[in-house]
Amino acid sequence: MSNIQPYTPAAGSGASSLSPWSSQGRALSRIVSRAELQVANLAAEAHVESAKLDAIDQVTQRALQGTAMVAQLESQLAEAVPSAAFRLAQIGQAHTLAMVGEVHSFGRGLR
């Protein structure tokens, strides 16, 4: 997950004091371990946030589709029965407001 590599001295470099068993080697190992843990935590948080966004997208898309279908049906029924147009518009508006409320409360619930 990380590109951080533990330090290993080259043969004959005279850097034997940084072997994994020296205090400096152990300190470097702890630094690398902490960095790897931070990277893993960030990746996990990003994965969770991405899943939340996908869920919001799905709920919003379904609400938009439902609203479009109701609007289309409202238009067809109002054309067939013009005297009911006002009542149909009220029902369509109530449906749309309910969908808005659901999308809004779903998004708030994911925090």
List the structure tokens of 65.
């589709």
Helix or strand (DSSP H, E) at 82: none
Q: Give the number of C-alpha atoms closer than 13 A to the C-alpha of residue 18, restricted to the C-beta side.
A: 12
What digits encode the pLDDT tens for the residues 18-40?
Answer: 566 788 888 888 999 999 999 99
SS (H, E, C) 72-99: HHHHHHHHHCHHHHHHHHHHHHHHHHHH
At 11 the pLDDT is 59
At 13 the pLDDT is 56
pTM of the model: 0.65
**Residue 92 gets which letter from DSSP?**
H
Domain spans, the chain: 17-109
Q: Which of 5-19, 56-70, 94-108 has the lowest mean pLDDT?
A: 5-19
At 102 the pLDDT is 95
